[in-house]
Structure 1
Amino acid sequence: MAFRSVFDASTIRTEFENAGIKPHFIPLIWKYVIQNPNCEWDQVPSLPSAAYPLLKSKFKPFTSALDSVIESTDQVTTKLLIKLQNGAFVEAVIMRYDTRMGKCGGEPRGGGPRSTLCISSQVGCKMGCKFCATGSMGFKSNLSSGEIVEQLVHASALSPIRNVVFMGMGEPLNNYAALVEAIRVMTAFPFQLSPKKITVSTVGIIHAINKLHGDMPQLNLAVSLHAPVQDVRCQIMPAARAFPLERLMDSLREYQRISQQKIFIEYIMLDGVNDEEQHAHQLARLLETFNVVVNLIPFNPIGTLSHFRTSSDERVTRFQKILRSTYNIRTTVRKQMGQDISGACGQLVVNLPDKRSSQNAALLTDIEDLNL
């Protein structure tokens, strides 16, 4: 029998309730495991006697293990290769920021160092985006909620995590139930992350977007749009055929009406594909009735897996200027981090045993900086 992660909240809660054990002990177990990652169950103090044999027979403190830690030469990005119980691997990326760098509203920023964790939700991905190496793996499996949470636990042992972004391997909304359960654990004791510091990125799974705010209020939503018209979007994102742009925008409009929150629009800059001036004007007209922040993402090379080229700095700047100056749409350019360790956006893919590379995590000027 495969053991379950103790961080699989619904499973352990059900087992405890069936055994007559009060569920309020569960967060205390989580806290002890986080502080004592190599513990045995009989070392956890002050549990009802019935809890110990139940834990020993059905749960592990961790069902995943930190296989390797790879540091980038940028000295702020760390990639974690995590081995799951079934032998598969996923990756997570820690990105460190200093909020005192730069200015906000003309004034020096307050705060100090913080870390953002980019988390995977699946092994591989079925979306098949042609600019993303993860898609080359195909879809292998969904992660359980516990396997998702364990990425946060592994990363927290290396750096205090304040922000979480679901921009790693997989399409988070295709693993909806586990995603929501994992976030509920992350926002409860002992993790206590603010939902405002958690961002879920999606290619646009319409039926899941329609449910998301009701299940996860205050969460940040990021949409991988990447093209302002349906035909270009389908060329670079085959899954877009199932989610027509007009229907997606209607869904986002309703999401924003209900949530009253800004939506983050991710837009990868591909030379000669979607980075011309006409595309900037089309994108602006598509978004002009929304409260959005557009994040322009320089394309990260993924070797022979893609024929795309990175847009020139001049094209990116011109694109940004049109959105900002002509249409007054808030627009940032994503800061690239971890490219040398294949930990940048679009680069997460696991190839074993011959080599371990990865692909799909950098962030922007940090997404939290946009929540002002």
Structure 2
Amino acid sequence: MPFRSIFDAGDVMSEFESAAINCKFIPLIWKHVIQNPNCELDEVPSLPSAAYILLQSKFKPLTSTLHSVTDSSDRLTTKLLIKLGNGALVESVIMRYDTRLGKYAGKPRPGGPRSTLCISSQVGCKMGCKFCATGSMGFKSNLSSGEIVEQLVHASRFSPIRNVVFMGMGEPLNNYAAVVEAIRVMTGSPFQLSPKRITLSTVGIIHAIKKLHGDLPGLNLAVSLHAPIQDVRCQIMPAARAFPLVKLMDTLQEYQRNSQQKILIEYIMLDGVNDEEQHAHQLGNLLETLEVVVNLIPFNPIGTLSQFRASSQQNVSRFQKILRGTYDIRTTIRKEMGQDISGACGQLVVNQSDKRATEDPPLLPDIEDLQLR
């Protein structure tokens, strides 16, 4: 049996309990590995002797390795290409911000530098969204909870991570058990991330959303909506056929009643497809009974993989004005450093021969600038 990640919490706890080893030692092991990523598990101090035998026979400090690291020219963004134990590759992106450079409600913002990590939950994706390069890979495999957490461990070597967004490769709710376990590790010792600073993005897996608040209270939910009517949504997101918009809206109403939290609505702007005035009004009517923040996302072209074009800046601004002015919906526009950038929204795809991998990744908006006040 292959060695498992020490961050596969369920496996480690099960093995410790079977060997009558106190599970209180597990966070201490994690802390040592985070601080010493190149260590061996027999170097962790002050463990029972039985723990050393078990760890060395079944677990590794890290099952993944950093395959390559790409920094943007302004050093604000770092893209990590991570090689898993089975040889598959996934991508994570670190985005750095300084809140003092922006304003909120017209006033200077307190705080200082912070970093957000965009995490992958699968190799590839089975959702097949036509505007997303990751979808062109098809679905390869799920990540274990340990492989998900290891992305945070790798990223922490480059920057202290304050926020985590599950907006990388894959549909997180199609890997539900591993994602839930990974988030529980991230919010526990020694990581101690606040659930309010973790955001999970989904295309709208209805049965999983119904369980989410009970399993992960306080988590931020983002829904990749991208169209205000079912027909258009199915055209650009084939998986939407399984999750009718009416049922999805009912599910989000229930989620919001239980969580008492705003929901982030992600909406990619596609020229002539979903960016016209009628679409803005349809979206406003669709969302009028929910407390939401709408994030309009400029489309990032993905070469021959896509038949779509980016909406004009005029159309995006008009769309935002309708949502704000007519429906009083807080609406933001995601800003990019460039359009043909391999680390941008919808462009995460493992292709080592792709020359775009040498270009600068994007500056995405910090999740705290979109969330929930």
Any conservation in 2 of the 1:332–1:365 contact (CA below 8 Å)? no
Q: Does 2:362 align with 1:371?
A: no
Q: Which amino acid in structure 2 is aligned with residue 160 of structure 1? A: P
Displacement of 1:82: 0.1
Displacement of 1:101: 1.7
What is the aligned partner in structure 2 of residue 59 from structure 1?
A: 59
Any conservation in 2 of the 1:134–1:348 contact (CA below 8 Å)? yes
Displacement of 1:362: 6.1
Displacement of 1:102: 2.0
Q: Which amino acid in structure 2 is aligned with residue 248 of structure 1? A: L
Q: Does 2:309 align with 1:302?
A: no
Q: Return closer, same or farther for 1:212/1:201 CA change in 2, 3 Å cut-off.
A: same
Q: Which amino acid in structure 1 is aligned with residue 372 of structure 2? A: N
**Partner secondary structure for residue 50 of structure 1:** helix
CA distance in 1, matches of 2:218, 2:77: 27
**Partner secondary structure for residue 23 of structure 1:** coil
Displacement of 1:75: 3.0
CA distance in 2, matches of 1:130, 1:171: 14
**Partner secondary structure for residue 161 of structure 1:** coil
Q: Which amino acid in structure 1 is aligned with residue 57 of structure 2? A: S
**Partner secondary structure for residue 17 of structure 2:** helix
Displacement of 1:81: 0.2
Q: Deviations over 1:325-370 (max 9, x none)?
A: 1111000001225756511100000024676849xx9675322123
Any conservation in 2 of the 1:120–1:166 contact (CA below 8 Å)? yes
Q: Deviations over 1:28-85 (max 9, x none)?
A: 0000001111111221110000011111110000000011100123431111000000
Displacement of 1:106: 2.1
What is the aligned partner in structure 2 of residue 159 from structure 1?
A: 159
Any conservation in 2 of the 1:209–1:251 contact (CA below 8 Å)? yes
Q: Return closer, same or farther for 1:347/1:74 CA change in 2, 3 Å cut-off.
A: farther
What is the aligned partner in structure 2 of residue 241 from structure 1?
A: 241
Q: Which amino acid in structure 2 is aligned with residue 25 of structure 1? A: F
Unaligned runs of 5+ in 2: none
Q: Return closer, same or farther for 1:364/1:284 CA change in 2, 3 Å cut-off.
A: farther
Q: Which amino acid in structure 1 is aligned with residue 254 of structure 2? A: E
TM score, norm. by length of structure 2: 0.96
Any conservation in 1 of the 2:76–2:363 contact (CA below 8 Å)? no
CA distance in 1, matches of 2:195, 2:232: 33
Q: Deviations over 1:158-217 (max 9, x none)?
A: 011000000000000000000000000000010000000000000000000000000000
Q: Deviations over 1:77-105 (max 9, x none)?
A: 11100000000000000011111122112
Quote the sequence identity (%): 80
What is the aligned partner in structure 2 of residue 190 from structure 1?
A: 190
Any conservation in 2 of the 1:125–1:170 contact (CA below 8 Å)? yes
What is the aligned partner in structure 1 of residue 123 from structure 2?
A: 123
CA distance in 2, matches of 1:337, 1:110: 24
Q: Return closer, same or farther for 1:353/1:15 CA change in 2, 3 Å cut-off.
A: farther
Q: Does 2:23 align with 1:23?
A: yes
Structure 1 residues 97-106 or 311-320, which shifts more? 97-106
Following superposition of structure 1 onto structure 2, how do residues 1-372 of structure 1 map, counting pairs within 5 Å? 1-337=1-337, 341-352=341-352, 357=357, 365-369=365-369, 370-372=371-373
Q: Deviations over 1:138-170 (max 9, x none)?
A: 000000000000000000100110000000000
CA distance in 1, matches of 2:354, 2:312: 33
CA distance in 1, matches of 2:363, 2:165: 9
CA distance in 1, matches of 2:183, 2:193: 9
**Partner secondary structure for residue 371 of structure 1:** coil
Q: Return closer, same or farther for 1:158/1:338 CA change in 2, 3 Å cut-off.
A: farther
Q: Return closer, same or farther for 1:321/1:356 CA change in 2, 3 Å cut-off.
A: closer
**Partner secondary structure for residue 101 of structure 2:** coil
CA distance in 1, matches of 2:106, 2:290: 26
Any conservation in 2 of the 1:71–1:341 contact (CA below 8 Å)? no
Q: Which amino acid in structure 1 is aligned with residue 245 of structure 2? A: L
**Partner secondary structure for residue 275 of structure 2:** coil
Q: Return closer, same or farther for 1:333/1:74 CA change in 2, 3 Å cut-off.
A: farther
Q: Return closer, same or farther for 1:337/1:157 CA change in 2, 3 Å cut-off.
A: farther
CA distance in 1, matches of 2:174, 2:363: 21
Q: Which amino acid in structure 1 is aligned with residue 3 of structure 2? A: F
Any conservation in 2 of the 1:199–1:222 contact (CA below 8 Å)? yes
Q: Deviations over 1:267-310 (max 9, x none)?
A: 00000000000000000000001000000000011111001000
Q: Which amino acid in structure 1 is aligned with residue 184 of structure 2? A: R
Q: Which amino acid in structure 2 is aligned with residue 371 of structure 1? A: L
Q: Return closer, same or farther for 1:316/1:117 CA change in 2, 3 Å cut-off.
A: same
TM score, norm. by length of structure 1: 0.97
Q: Which amino acid in structure 2 is aligned with residue 45 of structure 1? A: P
